[in-house]
Amino acid sequence: MANMAQAIRMALHYAEENLGVTDIFGEDVGAPLGGVFTCTQGLKTAWNSPLDERGIIGAAMGLAMAGNRPVAEIQFCDYIYNTIDLLKIAGNTHWATNGDWNLPMVVRTPVGSGIRGSMYHSHSFDATMTHIPGWKVVMPSTPLDAYGLLISACQDPNPVMFLEPKALLRVKGDERIPGEPDDDRALSKLIDAPLGDRSQWKPQWPTLEAFSVPIGKGKVVREGAQVTVVSYGRTLPLCAKAADQLKEDGFSVEVIDLRSLWPYDWELIKASVQKTGRVLFVNEDTEVTNFGEHLVRRTVEELFYSLLAPPRLVAGKFIPGIGLADALEMASVPQQADITSAIRSLAGEQP
């Protein structure tokens, strides 16, 4: 099975061959590196930009306004914060021009903890990004969803922010990408650049098939009746493992992978909460003004009389950065034990 980095690379190849993507660019995105996480190795439209995040976003906006379809990369989301004003302009362009101008651009950026990246390579961006209207925002938790969401993003007429949970980029999926060879080692030989000299290397792409995940649609990954858990990105697999562990103790936990943060699948959340009466929202961004807090507020406002217990949020600690030491990083963001404990407590609450 492909890992998420390979799935992203195959989706970008499919997009440049079939969906009119014209430029895939950013710092170290082109040859020879092909991205610090190898997501852009071997792509024919990939090129290297200067070390300039504002220049990358500005160039993507200009290319999109000129009728091209760019996919820009910010190497780590920690460095996207100095582009906020440009992201605001990109998001409001279609609205501000009364629909006369579209910006068919995608911005990819790795987010979150999991690689011992410490203070400058471990931040999250989902809460900040969902504060900027005019963008669609997605974050996959599996390679197949990464492939399908990126293909959908590359067809959208307006800006899409594609958040890549860096802790999952090397994790293989449970489902094959359409057109992926059955042999994992064969896939690696086809599309992974060799170590050392790459000057003569060219990828041998498999015959990839059209596949898309609709932006705005979540999915139930574990069915249950006692507690609803809503998550995305790095924490989603932890929630699924917690649900599996608790099932052995007689708990029935429903786990929803939101996949899209804007627009998000409120109807899926609503139906689940009306069934279980209890809901836990989980992500690793800092807990103050967290996207999960918005979901808690909406749950209370619209589903109050369906609730058997107050909605809860498990999120990252409200601290300036993620610690470098393993113990500090683990303590800074949600781990499986934190999620398991929160589910147990929530399931035990009675009206």
Active-site residues, by number, are 121
How many angstroms separate the CA atoms of 230 and 145, rounded? 16
Cis check: omega of the bond before 165, within 30 degrees of 0: no
Residues 6+ apart with CB under 8 A from 55: 49
Output the DSSP codes for 247-301. HTTT--EEEEE--EEES--HHHHHHHHHHHS-EEEEEEEESTT-HHHHHHHHHHH
> Which amino acid is located at 159 in the chain?
P
> What values do phi and psi take at 9, rounded to 5?
-60, -45
Rounded Cα distance between 263 and 312, Å, is 22
Strand order across the beta sheet in which 136-138 lies = 46-48, 23-26, 70-73, 106-111, 160-165, 136-138, 260-262
Q: Which residues pair with 46 in a beta bridge?
A: 24
Q: Dihedral of the CA atoms 297, 295, 156, 104 (nearest 10)?
A: 60
